[in-house]
Structure 1
Amino acid sequence: MQTHDIRRRFLDHFIRAGHTEVPSASLVLDDPNLLFVNAGMVQFVPYFLGQRTPPWDRATSVQKVVRTLDIENVGITTRHNTFFQMAGNFSFGDYFKRDAITYAWELLTGSVADGGYGLDPERLWTTAYLDDDEAITLWQEVAGVPSGRIQRRGMADNYWSMGIPGPCGPCSEIYYDRGPEFGRDGGPEADEDRYVEIWNLVFMQNERGAGRGKDDFEILRPLPRRNIDTGMGVERIAMVLQGVDNVYETDLVRPVIVEAERLTGRRYGSDHGADIQFRVIADHARTAAMLISDGVNPGNDGRGYVLRRLLRRIVRSATLLGATQPTMDRFMTVVRDEMAESYPVLRTDFERIENVAVGEETAFRRTLDSGSKLFAVARDSVVAAGGSRISGDDAFALHDTYGFPIDLTLEMAGEAGLAVDEAGFRELMSQQRRRAKEDAQARKQSHADLSVYREFLDGVPTEFTGYTELNTDARVLALIVGGVRIPTAEAGADVEVILDRSPLYAESGGQIADHGRLAAAGLRVRVNDVQKIAKSLWVHRVTIEEGQLTEGDVVTAEVDPAWRAGATQGHSGTHLVHAALRQVLGSNATQAGSLNKPGYLRFDFNWQGGLSAAQLAELEAVTNDAVDADHAVNSFVTDKDSALRMGALALFGENYPDEVRVVEIGGPFSMELCGGTHVTHSAQIGPVTLLGEQSVGSGVRRVEAFVGLDSYRYLAKERALLAGIASSLKVPGDQVPARIEQLVERLRVAEKELERVRAAAAASAAGDYAARAERVGPVALVAERVPDGIPAGDLRTLAIDIRGRLGSQPAVVVLLGSVDGKVPFVVAANPAAQQSGFAAGTLIRSFASAVGGRGGGKPDLAQGAGNDPAGIPAALAAARAAVAAG
């Protein structure tokens, strides 16, 4: 049974039972206690606490959940996940234990034909809280579970809470017995690998206080109404229903591993260490995609740091498995393809999701490439010397010189069974920066293992025929899988193929590899990627779709002509943009990297400061003038010195052979050393549309552009957008900017007038509030809820004004309001009140929690904010009580 079907059956089952389907909440909620939503019931907490009236008596949902406490264990075990789906049914003061048990049992054991999961009831075990005799009786009466398969467990196992103050209660869990091959007899108490938990039924009836751990907290009071909160792990039940050993082998997770296998050439299940990395990729790719889809971006703290760490662990794991090129776009694509049926945003917002993930990968790969090599040197040195700790000097070198995060050093050291001298690291961070940089540079070394390719690298390099033809006959020189040469490969295999000659372009110079195929009688092979080894050997990464491929075979190697046409447009367009940049900005705008693929180009260049709108417009105009001129595109081979004397541009830092290929467009307009494929005339590039420019690092800027039909499509969308705006504003398109400027100016005037009116209203209101002051002991107290919509700054001004109108008598002002679901509040105390022992900063703490907030300040003035407007009456009452208590 596929996971999407499992989700649908769950929801349909409870809808038939009168539940309302509620969409999953975002993983990011406005809750100061939670980094991410960590349980299916989080969005329902106000209903469980009685703070808000639920719009339904019973509900069902499949909630996105992220838990990051176990991030270090992901991959090491098959039981830990950061992202998972929690299916749940909820009752808000409606049904309780009997019906909750009935609904769960009917779904689990009901026939597949009737919408159930069809599990064998003889393989199900249940647990209950130690003194929950009622639940034990119901399991026997309702579900027919014999007493021998019901186990009583303590608070740590069978008393549920969110880990923070809030609703809680005893629970019953349902376990599935996977059989003796997975562990020993004795039920969940004996072995939770064999007996896997699939459902937890929480009988929510109490509210807990602060505490630590699963069983160290106080039960404060009963909830206003008894509720039901259940959670069925979708991935867990999928594992059971699909008959696989763990969640990583289920239908929505395993495809990520399959893609990682394809990208790295390694095989899942063949090596424990590699399996850990495969599982990290599979878990974190899903989590990262879901977090980005909910608006989280990589950063250096909070949620952003968690996302950054997940993405970087993916990159590192892929690298450890042997990936030498970016992989994030592929992993994000697989997650989208597998998960979008249940989460359409992964498809509709995919471009942004991919860009965020790929951008982080791009930045981190530079860090990882150098840092991992240095770490390996340090690790090997410690092990060879019989030591057990990475020095602070090495850890500092990784962090300071190469941007390698200290937490990643700690993690990698832990995996190697080593410690890190953190104290030494901290000291060097502040005292020995220069020496650490010099030491790190001296240790920088490492080379890839090219032994399997050595025979071919030492012989005749691959003959590339793709400049003049799109297909050629070639001989298979070798087949390689996982770094090992094999004689033959069957349909379905992913293989590296070395040919004596090839028309397929190998990724280099910013141009991504050609797509294409290898063909012969009874043989069909898809070419997914082509990479260069030591700049001379073409390695084709392929999937055999039909037939058998054997070393020595003669095949026809073919380039996908549509792909090549688009790739040449992108690469030639990049040359035009480079030449145009130098015209607009000058010769100091030198290339710092590029990427071009069908319909798109990206060009990085060294430059300080952003480009103005006028510079961008000129850049685009110069580029398209060169397209319109239909310059001839010529290429020739010469020696490097001659090429440079002719004015050909070379990428700084690149090592070129003695003989180089020069590509010129329009004679002196553009001349560069380049091994890429190109159009024959510049008009074939089509229009070039700049998408903008941005910083990608210190002193490095990036421009991106569409070319050809992609450029046309982009411009068509922009034209339609402008037409829509012009229609809305009822002006011709060329008058839209002026009309918008007029509207913005009118808005500024209106805002200033509104501010004047608000100030006048506040001054008038201050007198009214002061007139209503009540006498509480020796204090004149104004404790009021102001009208909704008054922002915090205005609230502060109003409180100060009221305080001033109360004269020299001891006076305290407490004001609370509501703005877009937030609760700003202010306390002001005059000197006489302060002398009587009333401090604003202290008083604010007496009521802030009632609105779910906090605040602070000085004795004369304090302010803060909460997130629960329903608590305002209780907050005012608490403030009055605090003043009355003196």
Structure 2
Amino acid sequence: MQTHEIIKRFREHFERAGHTVVPSASLLLDDPNLLFVNAGMVPFKPYFLGEAPAPYERATSVQKCVRTGDIEEVGKTTRHLTFFQMAGNFSFGDYFKEDAIRLAWELITKSQADGGYGFDPERLWATVYHDDDEAFDLWQKVAGLPPERIQRRGIEDNYWSMGVPGPCGPCSEIYYDRGPEYGREGGPVVDEDRYLEIWNLVFMQNERGPGGAKKDYPILGELPAKNIDTGMGVERVAFLLQGVDNVYETDLVRAVITKAEELSGRKYGADKVDDVRFRVIADHARSSVLLVGDGVTPGNEARGYVLRRLLRRIVRSSRLLGVTEPVLPVFAEVVRDTMGQAYPELVENFVRIQQIMRAEEDTFLQTLAAGSRIFENAADAIKADGRATLPGDKAFQLHDTYGFPIDLTLEMASEAGLTVDEDGFRKLMAEQRARAKADAAGKKTGHGDQTVYRELLDLGATEFVGYTDLAAEATVRGIVREGARVKTAREGDIVEVVLDRTPLYAESGGQESDAGVIVSDGAELEVVDVQKVARKLWVHQVRVVSGEIAEGQHVEARVDQEWRTGARQGHSGTHVVHAALRQVLGPSALQSGSYNKPGYLRLDFAWTGGLSEETRSEIEEVSNLAVRKDLPVRVVYTDMNGAQELGAVALFGETYDESVRVVEIGGPWSRELCGGTHVEHSSQIGPVTLLGESSVGSGVRRIEAYVGIEAFRFLAQERALVQNVAGLLKVPNAEVPGRVEALVERLRVAEKELERLRGAQLLSSAGQLADSALDVRGVALVALALPEGTSGADLRTLGTEVRNRLGSKAGVVALFAPDGAKASFVVATTAAARDLGLAAGKLVPSFAPALGGRGGGKPDLAQGGGTDPSGIPAAITALRTELDRAVESR
């Protein structure tokens, strides 16, 4: 049974059982605890946590998930995947244990002819929490499982919580016995390779307190409404139903391996080392395409860093398989063809996806070349010192800075006849992981004690009237100070105020929150910020300017009109620039992030190269033509299907409700899903002035612009600047560029001549310096400090020339140059000195510590630097001492 058919049957089974079919959410959700959605229940967390009422009593979904806890282990086993699909059914206070067990058992055991999966009931086992007698009895009653095939397990295996205070409960897992050829008898408690878990049923019935993530926390009592959260591993069920040995041989995963076989000429299954590389490619290609499809771009932080690692491991594994041509665009096509049926956005956005992956591969190949040079230099220095081990810190630098995983460094070291200090590397990796873990733990605040907001949400959602009104009568529902509700707030207090209705826009969709005030009977509150909690509750952070405010008080909330005017211009301007981008560059130039505030906008978009001046001018002109045309702005409320039929653009990383708001500017010219505030006609945006365009990551560019009065002010400043320059040059404004260009050229010529004269002056001193050499046991030593600011290139040039002037003598030249708080140096040796064992690279360690630095190089020439220029005299003394010792010891 093909994977798409497995998914189809799952959805149909639960839809027939009254479940609302919920499409897979984006892999990116606004959850401070998660980089990516890592379980099927994550999109439903607000309902389980009570942060928002569930819009349905029962639901089903097939959720795309990514887990990246230990990327480097992927491929070493056949069970570990970073990307997988989790099919689940959920009940929000509706059915509980008996129906959850019944619905799962029916689908698993029903014949394939009747729409089920057709698993043999005699090969199925279940586990329950150790004291969950109810579940134990239900497996016998509902499924007819004999007691010997129902096993009890402890809290670490069969009890679930989110790791923070909130809902929790026992769980029950369904296992399939693959047969004696896969392991020992005795059920899941004995062997989880033979007995493979395929489904987990969580009975969310209790509330836990603070404590450990897995155990050592108190159970505070039962939940008022009991919930069901289940998850069936699609890939695991697929490999069982397809009669293959593991998930990598299933239809949707094996296709990538097949393509890798074609490209490499090698066969999967022929070599254990190669098999790991094939599996890395197959898994990471799927994860990467899905992540890029949901708006992640390669970078050096958080989600972007994870994606970059995945992509680079694909390229690296391909190179180790002998593939030299670009691979990421090719593997992306395979993933599109296999996964596009389930996730049509991969097909719709494929041009952008492929562009980003191609750009990252190009970037990495350059990085690979740079890292290889670093490795080769390190290897040469190690061999020159007579050592045979690459230090752990150097291996870690290659990994952390250049993206070289340890296996690539090991292979390169082996080819160079070296070993690697793996223990040192592992220690540094462990320290980095510990820092990352501590940082992640420090950021886990998103699901702390939300009780105060749940109480307020129980009173009803905040009614937002800001699309039509700039002022609104309201009632204070709650006042929060430092996470706790208080009855009143007085002058000088900074608190959070929740109203039953508000005209003030809460920060979202890239738009800053509104500025404004809340007033009542002598009290005035300045609104500092407005945020949404659970997407239903508007929380106003305020400073009490005067008077006193109390719960239940009637107030008036007012938006700062000037602020709103500028904010509308900024947000509508963002839509106009986005539409202009797509018109000029094509539909693949999709917005991947934005920020706007009064008079200013910033827009990130998918593109692989910088824009020419002509292209930027065209985008600016298209934007301003749209403003001049006074295009109508229309808002349409519909559902996601309706929005897709309209061709509305949904933005990456955004989460939408069932009812969505589509903002049109000029009809189909600009049509986006958006909850922001907007102008009524495009002419109200005012002029659009692009400030610049830059790169913010592989395949992502950023445009910044002013709109409205800010654009006027910017242009006025630019005009004044040109006039000032024209006055200084005593030419008309129009002649300024030509005159400046001529001055720059004259300056370039003058600097070049100065550089030539300075070089000639340096070289002219080479003979004098050679003649001034000191005799150290028969070795001519030239060691001195040059004037501050002498460049490294000049040091090398002069050092080489002085060495040449020493001719056939045994000579060592050491030149130093201070430069502010730093110092640089070069050491050069003659052939006769090298015959005495005086290698430049080996002399550096004798004096570099005096400078607080280090360096290295080859026997004839070495260089380096330090952070203590005052140590130059001590360094020269140390070098003389080392020469004296080295010559005497021969």
Give the TM-score normalised by structure 2.
Answer: 0.50
CA deviations 1:387-420 (Å, max 9, x no partner) are 77634356557877xx446889889899998427
Change (3 A) 1:417 1:425: closer
Shift of 1:339: 1.0
Structure 1 partner of 2:223:
223
Q: Secondary structure at the match of 1:202?
A: strand
Matches of 2:295 and 2:343, distance apart in 1: 14
Matched-pair contact (CA < 8 Å) for 1:47–1:53: yes
Unpaired runs of at least 5, structure 1: 427-753, 834-866, 870-886
**Aligned 8 A contact 1:50 1:223 in 2:** no
Aligned length: 495
Report the identity percentage: 55
* Aligned mates of 1:424, 1:249 — CA distance in 2: 35
- State how far apart, in whole Å, the 1-side matches of 2:305 and 2:326 are: 21
The superposition leaves residues 501-550 of structure 1 with CA deviations (integer Å, 9 ceiling, x where unpaired) of xxxxxxxxxxxxxxxxxxxxxxxxxxxxxxxxxxxxxxxxxxxxxxxxxx
8 Å CA contact retained: 1:802, 1:813? no
Residue 676 of structure 2 aligns with which residue?
none
Distance apart, 1:284 and its partner CA: 0.5
Checking the alignment, whether the CA contact within 8 Å between 2:162 and 2:168 is kept in structure 1 is yes
Tell me what 2:72 maps to. Answer: 72
Separation in 1, partners of 2:520, 2:411? 60
Deviations 1:358-402 (A, max 9, x none): 1111110122245357658968998999977634356557877xx
Residues 817-828 of structure 1 mapped to structure 2, 5 A cutoff: 818=532, 823-828=538-543
Residue in 2 that maps onto 1:363: 363
Match of 2:148 in 1: 148
Deviation at 1:77, TM superposition (A): 1.2
- Is 1:271 paired with 2:271? yes
In structure 2, give the amino acid aligned to 1:365: L
Alignment of 1:331-410 (within 5 A): 331-372=331-372, 375=375, 390-393=391-394, 396=397, 403-404=402-403
- Where 2:270 maps in the other structure, the secondary structure is coil
Distance in 2 between residues matched to 1:91 and 1:354, nearest whole Å: 39
The Cα of 1:134 is off from its aligned counterpart by 0.6
One-letter identity of the residue aligned with 1:790: Y
Q: Which of 504, 507, 532 is the equivalent residue of 1:789?
A: 504
Query: Aligned partners of 2:102, 2:35: CA distance in 1, in Å?
Result: 34
State the match for 1:132 in structure 2: 132
Structure 1 residue 108 and structure 2 residue 101: aligned?
Answer: no
Q: Secondary structure at the match of 2:243?
A: coil
Deviation at 1:315, TM superposition (A): 0.7
- Partner AA of 2:253 in structure 1: V
Asked if 2 retains the 8 angstrom alpha-carbon contact of 1:161 and 1:169, the reply is yes
Greater relative CO (CA pairs within 8 A, separation 6+): 2
Matches within 5 A, 1:31-110: 31-110=31-110
State whether structure 2 residue 254 is matched by structure 1 residue 254.
yes
CA shift for structure 1 position 92: 1.3
CA contact (8 A) 1:784 1:814 kept: no
In structure 2, what is the equivalent of residue 23 of structure 1? 23
Of 375, 395, 419, 2:422 maps to: 419
Does the 8 Å CA contact 1:787/1:817 hold for their aligned counterparts? no
Tell me, yes or no, if the aligned pair for 1:379 and 1:390 is still in contact at 8 Å.
no
Distance change >3 Å, CA 381–CA 205, structure 1 → 2: farther
CA apart distance, 1:329: 1.2
Q: CA deviation at 1:58?
A: 1.4
1:17-48 C-alpha deviation (Å, 9 max, x unpaired): 22221111111111122111111111112222
Q: How does 1:351-750 map to 2 (within 5 A)?
A: 351-372=351-372, 375=375, 390-393=391-394, 396=397, 403-404=402-403, 418-419=421-422, 421=424
The 2-side partners of 1:260 and 1:420 are apart by: 33
Change (3 A) 1:828 1:387: farther
Q: Look up the SS of the partner of 1:253 in the other structure.
A: helix
Secondary structure, aligned partner of 2:322: coil
Quick one: distance in 1 between partners of 2:536 and 2:407?
39
Shift of the 406–191 alpha-carbon distance from structure 1 to 2, 3 Å rule, reads closer
Contact 2:491 2:544 in 1 (8 A): no
Q: CA deviation at 1:12?
A: 1.1
SS at match of 1:52: coil
SS of aligned partner of 1:53: coil
Equivalent positions of 1:4-23 (< 5 A) are 4-23=4-23
- Deviations, residues 529-575 of structure 1 (Å, cap 9, x unaligned): xxxxxxxxxxxxxxxxxxxxxxxxxxxxxxxxxxxxxxxxxxxxxxx
AA partner of residue 12 (structure 1): E
Structure 2 portions without partners, runs of 5+: 430-465, 480-485, 549-654, 658-890
- Per-residue CA deviation, residues 249-270 of structure 1 (Å, 9 max, x unaligned), is 1010001011111111121111
Q: 1:382 to 1:67 in 2, by over 3 A?
A: farther
Partner of 1:203: 203
Change (3 A) 1:44 1:775: closer
Q: Distance in 1 between the 2:9 and 2:90 partners? A: 16
What is the aligned partner in structure 2 of residue 720 from structure 1? none
SS where residue 199 of structure 1 aligns? Answer: strand
How far apart, in 1, do the equivalents of 2:107 and 2:400 lie?
53
Partner residue in 2 for 1:798: 517
| Contact 1:108 1:118 (8 Å CA) reproduced | yes
The amino acid that maps onto 1:148 is: E
Residues 821, 265 of structure 1: alpha-carbon distance in 2 compared, 3 angstrom cutoff? farther
Distance 1:424 1:822, change over 3 A: same
CA contact (8 A) 1:297 1:304 kept: yes
Cα deviation, 1:122-148, whole Å, max 9, x if unaligned, reads 111110001001111111111111111
| Distance in 1 of aligned mates of 2:206 and 2:386 | 58
TM-score (norm 1): 0.50
Instruction: Letter of the 2:172 partner, please give it.
Output: S
1:304 is matched with 304
**Which amino acid in the other structure matches residue 19 of structure 1?**
H
Q: Give the match for residue 121 of structure 1.
A: 121
> Whole-Å Cα distance in 2 between the matches of residues 388 and 200 of structure 1?
48
d(CA) in 2 for partners of 1:868, 1:10: 24
Q: Is the 8 A contact 2:74 2:81 kept in 1?
A: yes
* CA shift in 2, pair 1:407/1:301, >3 Å: farther
* Contact 1:255 1:334 (C-alpha < 8 Å) held by counterparts: yes
User: 1:883 — aligned with what?
Assistant: none
Separation of aligned partners in 2, 1:824 and 1:791? 8
Q: Deviations over 1:138-180 (max 9, x none)?
A: 1111111111111100111101223444432110001111111
SS in 2 for 1:368: helix
Contact 2:513 2:530 in 1 (8 A): no
1:280/1:775 Cα in 2 relative to 1: closer, same or farther (>3 Å)?
closer
Secondary structure of the structure 1 residue equivalent to 2:151: strand
2:474–2:502 CA contact under 8 A, matched in 1: no
- When residues 257 and 393 of structure 1 are mapped into structure 2, their CA distance, relative to the original with a 3 A threshold, is closer
- SS in structure 2 at match of 1:798: strand
C-alpha deviation, 1:193, in angstroms: 0.9
Structure 1 residues 146 and 369, CA gap change in structure 2 (3 angstroms):
farther
C-alpha RMSD of the superposition: 4.3
Q: Distance in 2 between matches of 1:59 and 1:219?
A: 27
- Displacement of 1:821: 5.8
State the alpha-carbon separation in 2 of the partners of residues 285 and 21 from structure 1: 28
Which AA in structure 1 matches 2:296?
A: V
Residues 179/755 of structure 1: CA separation in 2 closer, same or farther (3 Å cut):
closer
TM-fit CA distance, 1:112:
0.8
